[in-house]
Structure 1
Amino acid sequence: MPAPSVNLPDDSSIQRILIIKWSALGDLVMASALFEDIRRAFPQAELHLNTLPVNQKLFAADTRFARIIALDARAKSGKLFAMLRWLHAIRAGRYDMVIDLQTSDRSRFLLGALQLTGRGIRHRVGNHGFWPYTTGPDDLPRSVNPVLRMHAALNLAGIPTPTRHPVLVVPTHNRERVKHLLAQYGIAEGNYALLFPGCHPRGYLKRWGEQNYAELGRLLLQEGLVKHVVIAGGPDEIQLGDAIARRIGVAAVNMCGATEMLDIIPLAEHARYIIGNDTGTSHLAACSERPQVVICGPTDPTRVKPLGDQVIAIQADLPCSNCYRKHCSHHSCMREVHPEQVLALLTQPPQQTIVHVAARILEALPDV
């Protein structure tokens, strides 16, 4: 039986709220839109966020939260100690309500254990309609975008969810660093394309490829749409950025390794176009509300597309798409998305935000 809907914002006794959202980076960034909705629904309440230590710097200047509880309750070593430490910290918080936006087996177990300690949390909102949650929807299909799952939970709790794009607070020093970088390379605001060609090494199948990004960069320059192409990513993507910049020419600037995570947002805000793989960096860029195309292949765009109507996901229409494999012998899903197709989405955006393009190679795919 799903928990019934309620109107928790009308309960003036809710003064301290815990939000749980651990990972992954893309899901956390998308959840920041819901953080905004929760803040607006409870303007007088004190909000605490429980996230992983690696994510703490994303919220260093975020005044929506009175406290960031950077605890990893999923530690691979010392699991029992990690869970006991989490229970101790959350029990001491004396929360009136918890909103579990993680809603994993681990978070459900911990909240259930907390209830058994004798100092549980009165209102418990989650993405499921069974104990330990007091408010939550029936189980939704796994194919549903995680934000829609979270919307369903908040709406049942009487919390409106109007925010349509991620909202993260960027410290002044990050904005100043981006201004300095652009000035250093003589790049004018609003006159460059921003590329995110990398991703986590374990997800290398999500990479569109050096040649495709270089060709797209050349097309953008040839069409006179931008004067520069900026390549951004982590320190492990410096060589990839150099290779793409060499293929494009002098108008390309490789900033891989030169930026922090929160630099990505102002860097995206000043770009004319943004193009990237299915990666956490693309989700950060979605905070900017600038036109963006994300290339998807082995992952389902209905689940992984960054939040925002200005973001378009493109995917080749192949029978093996959305396989979520870590290894593949042919990588057709990425080979069948072509630079001119991405360019067309940037210059003539369609009505829909997920676009499937016909594959040009129609013969049977090799075994994966």
Structure 2
Amino acid sequence: MSQRSMPYDLPNDPSIRRILIIKWSALGDIAMATCVMEDVARAFPNAQIDLNTLPPWDKLFTGDPRFSNISKINIRAKQGKWAAIWAWMQQVRQQRYDLIVDLQSNDRSRFMLMFLQLTGNATRFLIGNHPSRPYNISGPDMPGDPNPVQRMRAAIKAAGIPVNTARPVLHIPAHNQQHAHELQKKYGLTAGRYAIFYPGCQAAGYLKRWGEDKYAELARQLLISEVDQVVLIGGKDEIEDCRRITELVGAGVVNLCGETEVLDIVPLARDAKYQVGNDTGTAHLAASSSQPMVVVCGPTDPYRVKPQGDNVIAIQADMPCLNCYCKQDCTHHSCMKAVQPEHVIEALHFKDGPVMIIPIPKAQQGLSDS
């Protein structure tokens, strides 16, 4: 029987007592991976589970009861990177893990784990998303470019680990819950009576932004009859976007850009009536709530980037150039211009699938617009 077809039932192996989960980056990918982390934690309730990630994402797991130890490695540092990698290898070797679950599974993590294997690391089971060394358990080949969580789930399922967690699971420290409550009280935010917008994204991927004018018009329409307030959340890269939306709409908009820590977002999202955002890590984090969310996609594939959860709908205009993954060279931005506020409102009530594709007549596609 081949390595990949061999049946495994690791949760019923009493010798697995120490487990390491590796997931380095980025915010959205880590948020999605918490679904799989939760499945592993449930499958091994008596094991010591450690997590290895990159700074600053280790802060997402402060006080998380699923993990005994949280370590970070800065493999992107310009100086000291190789020293950090060596220290990581020494640490992993000393812990003598029975199982390593590599949710990163990129060339670097594969190389590091393979080096450990070649230099005497005693880890018996290595789970990864890639069907080759150093992993001895991996999922089946998956056609196309599926959502990363599909690959992660396929890998742990091959180890006999049940896959049951539908959306991200994050444990929110008390101080973040308290800060969210204070913001709600300060701005008069009533549970179930406000919407949250995540209108930005990383500056380098600005073509994934739907645009201030579209968010402003959506806010106006929702404020008429659906909600009492619209809350804007973002970081330093979104300050100007949020300021502009606030200026365009005026009364009813609460601009919290720059006022929230990352984990404040989750309790705020849990009390929102609706959520709307771009393809951004913040939306993946907020998807841990069960409240309806629409993610507007343009240059990125909605089937691949949609946050986890049946409460989330990704929408995209049906354009000839969709899923181009263009970052800087697009002059017309037609895929985002074609999505209208009424499309988003329709999607907020859409129940028939994870992705809603909007048909756009050819005459309205505007591919020649600048």
Which AA in structure 2 matches 1:191?
A: R
Q: Deviations over 1:196-244 (max 9, x none)?
A: 001100000000000000000000011x110001001013322221210
User: Residues 248-327 of structure 1 correspond to what in structure 2 (within 5 A)?
Assistant: 248-327=249-328
* C-alpha distance in 1 between matches for 2:144 and 2:62: 32
Matched, 1:137 2:139: yes
Matched, 1:221 2:223: yes
TM-score by length of 1: 0.96
Q: Is residue 2–residue 129 contact of structure 1 (8 Å, CA) maintained in 2?
A: no
* C-alpha distance in 2 between matches for 1:103 and 1:238: 34
What RMSD over aligned residues (CA atoms) do the two structures have, in Å?
A: 1.6
Q: Judge which range, 234-243 or 286-295, deviates more.
A: 234-243
Which AA in structure 2 matches 1:313?
A: A
Shift of residue 137, structure 1, vs aligned partner: 2.2
User: Residues 71-90 of structure 1 correspond to what in structure 2 (within 5 A)?
Assistant: 71-90=73-92
Q: Deviations over 1:31-55 (max 9, x none)?
A: 1011111011000000000100210
Q: Is residue 246–residue 254 contact of structure 2 (8 Å, CA) maintained in 1?
A: yes
Shift of residue 247, structure 1, vs aligned partner: 1.3
Mark the runs of 5 or more structure 1 residues left unpaired by the alignment.
Answer: none
Q: Judge which range, 80-89 or 181-190, deviates more.
A: 80-89
In 2 relative to 1, CA 242–74 (structure 1 residues): closer, same or farther, beyond 3 Å?
closer
Shift of residue 365, structure 1, vs aligned partner: 2.4
* C-alpha distance in 1 between matches for 2:369 and 2:254: 39
Question: For residue 181 of structure 2, what is the aligned residue in structure 1?
Answer: 179
Q: Is residue 195–residue 276 contact of structure 1 (8 Å, CA) maintained in 2?
A: yes
* C-alpha distance in 2 between matches for 1:77 and 1:29: 28
* C-alpha distance in 2 between matches for 1:81 and 1:359: 53
In 2 relative to 1, CA 90–219 (structure 1 residues): closer, same or farther, beyond 3 Å?
same
User: Residues 20-35 of structure 1 correspond to what in structure 2 (within 5 A)?
Assistant: 20-35=22-37
Match for 2:94 among 92, 95, 113? 92
Question: For residue 154 of structure 1, what is the aligned residue in structure 2?
Answer: 156
Q: Judge which range, 106-115 or 177-186, deviates more.
A: 177-186
Q: Is residue 21–residue 102 contact of structure 2 (8 Å, CA) maintained in 1?
A: yes
Matched, 1:366 2:360: no
Which AA in structure 1 matches 2:314?
A: A
Q: Judge which range, 202-211 or 2-11, deviates more.
A: 2-11
Secondary structure at the counterpart of residue 306 of structure 1:
coil
Q: Judge which range, 301-310 or 139-148, deviates more.
A: 139-148
Which AA in structure 2 matches 1:233?
A: G
Shift of residue 156, structure 1, vs aligned partner: 0.5
Question: For residue 231 of structure 2, what is the aligned residue in structure 1?
Answer: 230
Mark the runs of 5 or more structure 2 residues left unpaired by the alignment.
Answer: none
Q: Is residue 127–residue 139 contact of structure 1 (8 Å, CA) maintained in 2?
A: no
* C-alpha distance in 2 between matches for 1:87 and 1:141: 33
Q: Judge which range, 190-199 or 2-11, deviates more.
A: 2-11
Matched, 1:52 2:38: no
* C-alpha distance in 2 between matches for 1:116 and 1:367: 56
* C-alpha distance in 2 between matches for 1:74 and 1:242: 32
Q: Is residue 238–residue 254 contact of structure 1 (8 Å, CA) maintained in 2?
A: no
Q: Is residue 334–residue 366 contact of structure 2 (8 Å, CA) maintained in 1?
A: no
* C-alpha distance in 2 between matches for 1:183 and 1:320: 45
Question: For residue 14 of structure 2, what is the aligned residue in structure 1?
Answer: 12
Q: Is residue 294–residue 311 contact of structure 1 (8 Å, CA) maintained in 2?
A: yes
Shift of residue 360, structure 1, vs aligned partner: 4.4
Shift of residue 76, structure 1, vs aligned partner: 4.4
Q: Deviations over 1:46-68 (max 9, x none)?
A: 00001002101100020100000
Q: Is residue 73–residue 85 contact of structure 2 (8 Å, CA) maintained in 1?
A: no
Secondary structure at the counterpart of residue 53 of structure 1:
coil
Q: Deviations over 1:109-153 (max 9, x none)?
A: 110000112123111111122221111124323511111101110
Which AA in structure 1 matches 2:318?
A: D
Question: For residue 353 of structure 2, what is the aligned residue in structure 1?
Answer: 352
Secondary structure at the counterpart of residue 87 of structure 2:
helix
Q: Is residue 32–residue 168 contact of structure 2 (8 Å, CA) maintained in 1?
A: yes
